[in-house]
Structures are given as structure tokens and as C-alpha cells.
Structure 1
Amino acid sequence: MKTKVRNSCLLFLTACIWGSSFVAQSVGMDYIGPYTFNCLRFLIGSLVLLPVIFFSRHRKKDQKDRSKDRTLQKKEMLCGGIVCGVILCIASTLQQIGIIYTTAGKAGFLTAMYIVLVPVLGLFLKRKAGLQLWISVGLALIGLYLLCMKGAFSLNGGDVLLILCAVGFSVHIMVVDYFSPKMDGMILSCIQFLVAGLISSIGMLLSEQFDWHMVLLAAKPILYSGVLSCGIGYTLQVIAQKGLNPTVASLLMSLESVVSVITGFLVLHEVLSGRELLGCVFMFAAVILAQIPVKRLVLAD
């Protein structure tokens, strides 16, 4: 139980980091293309983790891992990192391109559709969510709609890309759930960032013109996204998902939408409407319900 509480807190911290970095992603796109932005931020995320991994491994160099063959372990890490990196690259690229063609609120709502898709994918993998979690997902969906959507709901080309992005992030959550218990979380993150950065560099070279002047203008958003969103945020996700139901993890991470609104209120002095506040209430209620043990609910009845 202590481990689950700790991991839940880490995922909430992840949501806080992602929620505050959404602005950085949008600002960065004013200067450079989506492939360039993703390439640089993922490579920075990988570099940030290298010294952490080095000192962590150096401290444990005298401890022998007898649980499995080291060669097999390295192959699993490489395989896990490549799979996670490819999926992360696809999802992030779809998100960066989709942001260009739609509003920030709709982008946040459509991206967070993984809260519905994760339990659906879980059904195919024989991981049933249960009535309690489905109710939590429903509450979160209502909360996200109230929080992000304004006016009539309609779809355009950018919105379709964001829906596909949500599918990608859903698959990423499930893949991380599979690989994270088997290996060191920081190494898995480092490899996935390197893979995602290298794939993005191919798109950058083929479809965009690299301009150092524009990169320097976008330096702050790139560094913010690279160090915080990637280096810290996604690494916390990999570490904290161990032992948590993927649906619960997705609900916690979807709080990034709430954090982005609160950040706008605190930093940009944006006014929160009653609709947005009600959306926040629904979101937090969904997360709290998902965290309550089923036995406790039965006893309460």
C-alpha cells in the first residue's frame, strides 16, 4: 500500500510537470517545426539521464545481479527502450503537429482520451478495469470536457491527429506497464528518449530546415520540455507505473489538464470560470474514487 501511495504521488507530480510544460510546447512551435522540437527535447532528455544512471550504477557496481543472465537483461532493456521510444515518438509527433491546427483546450481534451482507451486496451490484454474504475473514467471524461471544451464540439484534421495521438499514448502506457517491472526505469527512459530523438531527426532532415538562429530563439521551451517534461516527467512515469493498474495511472496522469488550468490562473492570472472549476472537481473526484480500495467501498455499503 505504501508503494502504491508513493507511486500515485509520483504520477501526480508527473501530471504537474506535463501540465506546466504544455505552454512550452506551444511556444516552441512558433520558431521551429515539430520534428526539430521533438528531436532536440528527446535527445536532451536522454543526456540529462546519463549522469544520473552513471552515478546510480557506480554505487551498485559491487552488487551482483544473480536473478538473470546479464546479457539477457541488456537485450530486454534494449528491446523495451526501442519499443517505448518508437511509440513515444509517433504519439508526440502527432501531438505536436495537431496542436498547430486546433485550440489548446481541445488539444488537451483529445490528448487525454487515453483515460478511456487504456481500460479498453486492457480488455484485450485480459486486464479488466472493474465497475469502480469505469465510473472513475466516466467522471474524468465529464471533467475534461467541462475543463477543456468551449462552445460546440466539432472535429477537423488537427483533431483527428490528436485522437491518433491519444491512441499512441494509450499504447505507450500499456507498453511501459509491461516493461517497467522488468528493468531499471531510468535506463529504459534514457533508451526510449534516444530512440525517439533519432527517429525525429530523420523527419527533421527530410521535411524541415534546421536553423540555429530559430533554435536559439526556442531554447527556453526546448530546455524546459527536454529537462522537465522528458528527462524528469517521462522517467517518473516509467518508475511510478510499477505496481499500479494502468487505468489508475492514466487517470492520475490526466490531471495534467487540471494543472495546466491552475498554472494559467497562478502564473498568467487567467480567470477560472465556474464551468472550469466544476471540471476540476469532477477530475479530482474521479482520481480519488479510483484510489479507494474496493473492500473499503463494500464495507461502507
Structure 2
Amino acid sequence: MALCWGLNFVVEKHVLLTITPFMYLGFRFFLSAVVMAVIFHKRLKTISKEDIIAGLIVGIFMLLGFLTQTVGLVYTTPSKSGFITGSNVVMVPFFAYLLTKRFPGTSQIVGAIITFSGLGIISISDNLNIAYGDILTLLCAMCFALQITFTEYYVKRADPINMAIIQVALAGIVTMGMTIIREPFSLDFSLEIWAAILFAVIFCTAGAFLIQNVAQRYTSSTHAA
């Protein structure tokens, strides 16, 4: 899962040279939701109120994370985007504390200091300005940290697969809706672009969030991050 997401930074950067961030996310999440709903259509018949609430709450943070990450990637490099997004690892223990009251350990506090020092070094320019893309990507990292934290909280109370379908469907409906409203709709992409979108659909979205939600039933948000 981590390997797919890492590779996807490079793939996304290439795709965003051809289509807009909203169109890319619209196709990515809408198609992922369709794939997941088709595969797990029998399971959806048992969906509960808890599944829906959990999926919507986690889905909001996931949606905001991908919106800020994808738009930010237009204004920064894949390597910087990957590093800054990865800083969510050190944010998770602090957000988890707000829900669980488990205070972060010394190693996690030291790790956070080192990570944010590194963020400052790579993001602040000579004139002490922070790049627009880096700011968006830092917001993305915060949203992903909250997504992971709330996933840990809800997967023990809701069905993780139904929850994943709801969160991906929410992102698909919102981003596809924004695409249709804001931009001329098109399906006329090259095979290379469609291949990149399908890679993101199967491995980086549908597969990844199903695995993450199920796995977080058996591990902490800190380990998942």
C-alpha cells in the first residue's frame, strides 16, 4: 500500500500536466466507489447508521486531504510532496491523544521536532517565504493524520468495508460534481492517462482504503501511519 502511494506521487504529477486536479480526483474516486460497490454489493445490504456516520466523518478528512495534496502537487515537486505528506506520521500520535488521552511518548515528540525542522529546511526559501504548494501539502498531511486517527476510532464501532465504500463514495460524488460544475467534461484522454487513473483507482484508492480500514481494526493509528 505504501509502495503504491509512493509511486502515485510521480504518476499524479504526470497526469496533472494533462488534466485538472478536480477532474483527476473525480474519475479516481467515482470509479473506485463503483468498483467497491460492485464487489461488495451484498455487504452493502447490511449497512448501518454507524457505518454511514463513520464513513462520512472519515471521508471528509480524506477528501480534504486529497484535494489539498493534488492541488498542491501542481505547485511543488513529487519528492517534496511525498516528504511533507509523510509528516502525517508524526502528527497522528498528537491527534490520537485528543481522542484516546494516550500521551505521545518521548520518541514521538523528538520525531515530531526533527520532522518539522526538516519541513522548514526544504519548504522555506531564501527570502523566508513558504511555497504555496508546500502549505497546501502540509494541510493535506494534517487532514490525513485526522483521517487515520478517526479511522482507528470508528473501525471498532462500524463495518470497515462499508465504511471504506462510504468514504470513497463521498469523495467521488463531491469531486465529480465539482468537475462537472467547474469544467468542460471530457473522456477524451490518452491510453497513458487512463492507465494512470486506473492504477490509482485499483491500487491506490479502492484496494488501499479497504486494506487500511480492515488493518486498523488490529493495530493503532500510530502504527498505521
TM-score range for the pair, normalised by the shorter chain length: 0.7 to 0.9
Moved more, 19-28 or 192-201: 19-28
Alpha-carbon separation, structure 2, partners of 1:244 and 1:131? 20
Alpha-carbon separation, structure 2, partners of 1:105 and 1:91? 17
> Is the counterpart of residue 80 in structure 1 residue 67 in structure 2?
no
Offset, 1:114: 0.9
1:37 to 17, 20, 24: 24
Distance 1:215 1:209, change over 3 A: farther
Offset, 1:179: 1.1
> Is the counterpart of residue 196 in structure 1 residue 175 in structure 2?
no
- Show the 5 A alignment for 1:37-116: 37-54=24-41, 57=43, 74-116=48-90
Offset, 1:168: 0.8
Offset, 1:152: 6.5
Offset, 1:237: 1.0
Conservation of the 8 A alpha-carbon contact between 2:6 and 2:82: no
* 1:182 match: secondary structure: coil
Offset, 1:24: 2.1
> Is the counterpart of residue 127 in structure 1 residue 114 in structure 2?
no
- AA aligned opposite 1:97: V
Alpha-carbon separation, structure 1, partners of 2:207 and 2:172? 16
Conservation of the 8 A alpha-carbon contact between 1:129 and 1:247: no
Give TM-score scaled by structure 1 length.
0.65
- AA aligned opposite 2:179: M
Conservation of the 8 A alpha-carbon contact between 1:186 and 1:239: yes
Alpha-carbon separation, structure 2, partners of 1:137 and 1:131? 10
- AA aligned opposite 1:248: H
Conservation of the 8 A alpha-carbon contact between 1:111 and 1:163: yes
Offset, 1:35: 1.0
Conservation of the 8 A alpha-carbon contact between 1:84 and 1:192: yes
Moved more, 193-202 or 180-189: 180-189
Corresponding residue of 1:118: 92
Alpha-carbon separation, structure 2, partners of 1:123 and 1:48? 35
Give TM-score scaled by structure 2 length.
0.85
- Structure 2 gaps, min length 5: none
Offset, 1:172: 0.6
Tell me the C-alpha RMSD between the 2 structures. 2.8
Alpha-carbon separation, structure 1, partners of 2:82 and 2:223? 19
Alpha-carbon separation, structure 1, partners of 2:32 and 2:159? 16
Alpha-carbon separation, structure 2, partners of 1:103 and 1:117? 22
Corresponding residue of 2:132: 157
* 2:103 match: secondary structure: coil
Conservation of the 8 A alpha-carbon contact between 1:101 and 1:158: yes
Rg larger for: 1
Conservation of the 8 A alpha-carbon contact between 1:133 and 1:247: no
2:162 to 187, 200, 208: 187
Alpha-carbon separation, structure 1, partners of 2:150 and 2:36? 21
